[in-house]
């Protein structure tokens, strides 16, 4: 009896709280939903680290900053499962070490059956598979020779699984494949790579898949800071450079690099292949000889790039095609080998705090506690909406 009498008085505050939550939600939704659709920029989710948050927490973080396109270097089932129901679109990868074996149609079929098909059936959005990464950067000629046959096997296996047209098959190139990249209209692939690239481009054209290129204006600046203007690489106001053949003006190096790739593809006879930037970024720290690797420059690069992308800008050669870019990378990755810059490309530290301010104050939920599940979800949702509101505010 006592319990029954007490029940209403205990219920009252929670009803009031629920009403408050609803009011807050409706204010946030009406204020922000229109302004704040998903960002068009994608992000590379690399995991060469031993201190990253769980994929479940990362999915909250990415939703809070409205990122809806993610590129992986593998097909990590934990990540794909954690993002089910979020609508986030994935590029998954086959590592270079697995490329030679994918030449076998049976192996390609088995790989897809294990790593892709179950996730698609469960509702994951996997729209692209990269077969290898920067295969023409090294001198592994066996790997280079295996690339296109492996891509063909993966493409045929997709068809055999009834998945044709749902998933593109491509690879991501380093800018090192360029022999000439300036002026952009004179763009040409490295002569040594052309024999491989000719049939490769035909494959992309026949299958409608994009050409992916990893572009780092940072490298050009670091190598020659006296001659490469900082404003030109950081998308800041500057006179730019004019391509003498086309008369087109370039106010930033990234667009010049992308157009050099379009020109190189066209020189080999193709005008129907879409170029996407599969990686670009700027390190927030580096070794003493890595000039320009600072949080200020990294923040300026990413902030200005985000703005260009949200404006749906195209490059001077393809003004009607909005640039399609995946930022490198989501987190600082503490186990990456090489110079210090390699471990400092992240937008976020592993604890979810931003490395520099670009208006993306994300929300990384605390490590899973024994807390009541439903309450935690409401709490996460509120925190999520608050950070979405701050993203919208920062970008408006």
Ligand X SMILES: *[C@@H]1O[C@H](CO)[C@@H](O)[C@H](O)[C@H]1NC(C)=O
- Figure out which of the listed residues 95, 208, 225, 366 binds ligand X, where binding follows CB under 6 A: 208
Find the catalytic residue in 97, 134, 290, 333: 134
Is position 134 annotated as part of the catalytic site? yes
Q: How far is the CB of 223 from ligand X (least distance, A)?
A: 18
- List alpha helices for the chain, DSSP H: 2-32, 55-64, 77-82, 105-115, 117-122, 141-160, 191-207, 217-223, 230-233, 253-267, 295-310, 373-395
Instruction: Choose which of 37, 114, 127, 242 interacts with ligand X (CB under 6 A).
Output: 127
Return the number of the residue (81 or 274) whose C-beta is nearest ligand X.
Answer: 274
The minimum distance between CB 92 and ligand X, in angstroms, equals: 12
Q: Does 164 contact ligand X by CB under 6 A? A: no
Q: Which stretch binds ligand X (CB under 6 A): 60-68, 149-157, 207-215, 342-350?
A: 207-215
Nearer to ligand X, 50 or 139 (CB): 139
By CB under 6 A, the residues from 210 to 239 that bind ligand X are: 210
- Establish whether 279 is a catalytic residue: yes
Only segment of 62-70, 202-210, 229-237, 374-382 that touches ligand X (CB under 6 A): 202-210
**Closest distance of CB 232 from ligand X, Å:** 27
- 135-171 as b/e: b if 16+ CB within 10 A: bbeeeeeebbebbbbbbbbbbebbeebebeeebbbbb
Sequence-distant contacts of 293-301: CB under 8 A, at least 24 apart: 293/218, 293/222, 293/340, 293/341, 293/344, 295/355, 295/356, 296/356, 297/230, 297/234, 298/355, 298/356, 299/356, 299/357, 299/358, 300/234, 300/235, 300/236, 301/217, 301/218, 301/233, 301/234, 301/235
Determine, following the binding rule CB under 6 A, whether residue 166 of this chain makes contact with ligand X: yes
- Regarding 312 and contact with ligand X (CB under 6 A), the answer is no
Query: Per CB under 6 A, does 168 bind ligand X?
Result: yes
Residue 302's CB is within 10 A of a number of other CB atoms, namely: 25
Q: Catalytic site residues?
A: 134, 279
Contacts with ligand X, residue ranges (CB under 6 A): 127, 139, 166, 168, 208-210, 274
């Amino acid at each position: 009896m006592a319990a029954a009498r007490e029940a209403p008085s205990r219920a009252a505050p929670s009803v009031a709280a629920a009403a408050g939550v609803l009011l807050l939600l409706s204010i946030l939704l009406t204020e922000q939903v229109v302004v704040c659709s998903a960002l068009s920029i994608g992000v590379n989710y690399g995991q060469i680290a031993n201190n990253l948050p769980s994929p479940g927490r990362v999915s909250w973080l990415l939703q809070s900053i409205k990122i809806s396109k993610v590129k992986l270097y593998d097909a990590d089932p934990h990540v794909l499962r954690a993002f089910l129901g979020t609508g986030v679109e994935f590029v998954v990868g086959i590592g270079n070490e697995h490329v030679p074996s994918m030449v076998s149609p049976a192996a390609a079929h088995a790989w897809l059956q294990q790593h892709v098909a179950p996730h698609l059936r469960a509702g994951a959005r996997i729209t692209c598979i990269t077969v290898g990464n920067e295969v023409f950067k090294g001198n592994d000629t066996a790997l280079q020779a295996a690339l296109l046959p492996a891509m063909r096997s993966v493409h045929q296996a997709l068809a055999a699984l009834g998945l044709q047209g749902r998933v593109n098959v491509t690879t991501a190139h380093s800018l090192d494949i360029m022999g000439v990249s300036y002026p952009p209209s004179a763009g040409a692939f490295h002569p040594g790579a052309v024999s491989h690239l000719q049939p490769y481009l035909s494959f992309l054209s026949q299958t409608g898949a994009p050409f992916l290129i990893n572009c780092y204006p940072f490298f050009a600046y670091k190598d020659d800071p006296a001659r490469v203007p900082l404003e030109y690489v950081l998308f800041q106001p500057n006179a730019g450079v004019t391509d003498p053949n086309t008369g087109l003006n370039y106010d930033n190096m990234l667009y010049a690099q992308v157009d050099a790739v379009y020109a190189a593809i066209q020189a080999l006879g193709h005008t129907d292949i879409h170029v996407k930037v599969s990686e670009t970024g700027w390190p927030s720290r580096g070794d003493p000889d890595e000039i320009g690797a600072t949080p200020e420059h990294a923040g300026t690069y990413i902030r200005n790039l985000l703005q260009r992308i949200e404006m749906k800008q195209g490059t001077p050669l393809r003004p009607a095609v909005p640039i399609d870019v995946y930022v490198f990378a989501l987190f600082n990755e503490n186990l990456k080998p090489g110079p210090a810059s390699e471990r400092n490309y992240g937008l976020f530290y592993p604890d979810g705090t931003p490395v520099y301010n670009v208006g993306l104050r994300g929300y990384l939920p605390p490590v899973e506690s024994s807390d009541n599940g439903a309450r935690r979800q409401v709490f996460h949702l509120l925190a999520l909406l608050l950070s979405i509101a701050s993203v919208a505010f920062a970008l408006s």
